[in-house]
A = this chain, B = another copy of it.
């Protein structure tokens, strides 16, 4: 497991340069809304309306955009049921679960330290 930038670079030179795919993934996952949508999905499958309500302050437009991007990346799965009224459910893919296993420790740390950081 890498613990420094130097080690990452040694394993794969050119990592996180502008053209590197890692930069793209980083932008998608760490985007303002991406991480919050993913966080909400760690609870399990959610419907569109549930996501909209659970991610405080997100607009319909950004929810749609974010979900499409993450679905294209294979991190989120979209399942629509041909019913009336329509029902669409979103969940993490196995890859998404793996990703969030790495993100959750960070979120926990932020939760604990945020007050102290912002207050200063």
- Listed in ascending order, the chain A residues whose CB lies under 8 Å from chain B are 1-6, 8, 11-12, 15-18, 20-22, 24-27, 29-30, 32, 35-36, 39-40, 42-43, 54, 56-57, 72-75, 95, 98-99, 101-111, 113-115, 117-120
- Which secondary structure characterizes the binding site on chain A? helix
Counting every copy of the chain, the complex holds 2
A-B contact pairs, 15 of them (CB 8 A): A2-B104, A3-B42, A6-B42, A6-B43, A12-B111, A18-B56, A21-B114, A22-B110, A29-B110, A30-B30, A73-B117, A74-B117, A99-B106, A102-B106, A103-B106
Chain B residues within 8 Å of A54, by CB = 5
Are the CB atoms of B95 and A99 closer together than 8 Å? no
A115 to B42 CA separation, bound complex (whole angstroms): 24
- Name the residue among A43, A109, A115 with the largest chain B CB count within 10 angstroms: A109
